[in-house]
Amino acid sequence: MWRSCLQLWDWGPRLLKWPLGGPICSVVPGPIPQLRARAYAPPKERKRFYQNVSITQGEGGFEINLDHRKLKTPQAKLFTVPSEALATAVAMEWDSQQDTIKFYTMHLTTLCNTSLDNPTQRNKDQLIQAAMKFLDTDTIWVEEPETLVELQKNEWDPIIEWAEKRYGMEIGASTSIMGPSIPAKTYETLASHLASYNMWALQGIEFVVAQLKSLVLTLGLMDLRLTVEQAVLLSRLEEEYQVQKWGNIEWAHDYELQELQARAAAGTLFVHLCSESTTVKHKLLRE
């Protein structure tokens, strides 16, 4: 019995088919109670088993090769991306692993896997709905009534104005805990704007929205209005304020900041690189 349970944890040669530690790990059947000691042990770390990472162009797009093996997604599909730049960046991620493979740093790979596998089986509308859900309680217009309000007015108001002008919305900031009420027209405008992106780009957008907790900031990133550093700063405005007031704790604040920046940057880059291909297609269609 012990031997068969130990086999569950043998990740071994099944790496390329097993979950790469993306945002959604496939479920390993729960261990029986006698295995309590091993139930919370993290999966064995994979060592770097390849020397070279290269990119080849296949039928569906660009593929990644680890030595001579083709990279596959957690659901064993062939890993293809539409854009060469994206493939280069993913290859860079794999190439930069030293000794052990740290999946939690490979954000672009994770995003590509999610787009290819679609483990939660969501279609375009569901992705848009998921992103729009953040609009009600968007970080950027829930204001603190007292101390922060100056800082929030200075930093967030320009972005709110830009968003209102760009998308024809009319929303002011609100101090209530429920956030401002959003008119239906705004929902439709934004939903149709989001619908203009392809599936891959939408995965990226939904990812960034969930990280920054703000749809407006994400739109700012997509429209090149904000840099990633700026967007992350605006998203964490209150934390930055408190840090300046009370002091910075490196292993918590900086850690979180770098992780948030990494994820937001990965998502933004992913969307931009995936959206480029759609514009090319449109040009061909017109001709």
Closest CA to 44 of 66, 24, 28, 64: 28
CA distance 214 to 209: 5
Question: Which CB sits closer to other proteins, 205 or 273?
Answer: 273
CB 83 → other proteins: shortest distance, Å?
11
Question: Which CB sits closer to other proteins, 80 or 186?
Answer: 80
CA distance 77 to 185: 40
CB 240 → other proteins: shortest distance, Å?
16
Question: Which CB sits closer to other proteins, 118 or 230?
Answer: 230
Lookup result for tokens 């429920």 = 178
Residues 1/8, Cβ–Cβ less than 8 Å:
no
CB 210 → other proteins: shortest distance, Å?
17
Question: Which CB sits closer to other proteins, 246 or 251?
Answer: 251
Question: Which CB sits closer to other proteins, 59 or 250?
Answer: 250
CB 250 → other proteins: shortest distance, Å?
7
CA distance 237 to 99: 37
Structure tokens at 185: 């027209």
CB 53 → other proteins: shortest distance, Å?
8
CB atoms within 10 A of CB 77: 12
Q: In DSSP terms, which residues pair with 65 in a beta bridge?
A: 54, 70
Q: Give the binding site for other proteins (CB under 8 A).
A: 2, 37, 51, 54-55, 84-85, 88-89, 91-92, 95-98, 102, 105, 107-108, 224-225, 227-230, 250-251, 254-255, 258-259, 261-262, 265-266, 268-269, 272-273
CB 38 → other proteins: shortest distance, Å?
10
Closest CA to 192 of 168, 210, 220, 175: 168
Question: Which CB sits closer to other proteins, 6 or 149?
Answer: 6
